[in-house]
Structure 1
Amino acid sequence: MDKIRDLSSKRAVVIFTKSSCCMCHSIKALFYELGASPAIHELDQDSRGNEMALALRSLGCNPCVPAIFIGGHFVGSTKDVISLHVNGSLKQLLINAKAIWL
């Protein structure tokens, strides 16, 4: 859990993914399209990936990826981010976290 906290606090947007996950790819594309440059941590390419996946599950992220942090706070997974995007509040979260500017 300490590794997750440490990594998620280093950038405005942090996404924990797996390289083979199509939903992870879609979420990354959404953030790039909005103009954000998220830090991407591929759990399947990290020696501590399994440990981090368990920590993400303990936060309530099931499946464990993608797990999205904005401004150091856990936002959720795919459905949570898509809901925020659809209702228009994702962009404001990114602005508040200084991940994008207008």
Structure 2
Amino acid sequence: MTLTKADLVQQVYKKHANLTKAQATESVEAFLRISKNSLISGSDLLLSGFGKFNVKDKSSRRGRNPQTGQELTLEARRVVTFKPSGILRDKINEN
């Protein structure tokens, strides 16, 4: 099962009776927008009790096209990694 953005909005809406559905949607969208902008700018995103998202630079490297076997150079790029907090890791392993 996958948790979607619509599911997040629904959960926020259910748990906060004072919010309209539109306000719940905007709250989730605002959080995601702030998170994305932080990562795009190269900053790490730390959510206590959940984990840390890091932006890492990968240098260019040699690779191979799996269909043709032809060697090629993979361009340098940035990737996002996630490391769960100890609390989250423990909770996942309890079940």
Fold conserved (TM > 0.5)? no
More strand by share: 2
TM-score by length of 2: 0.28
TM-score (normalizing by structure 1) = 0.26
The structure having more radius of gyration, on CA atoms, is 2
Determine which structure has greater relative contact order: mean sequence separation of CA pairs < 8 Å that are 6+ residues apart, divided by chain length. Answer: 1
When you count helix as a share of all residues, which structure comes out higher? 1
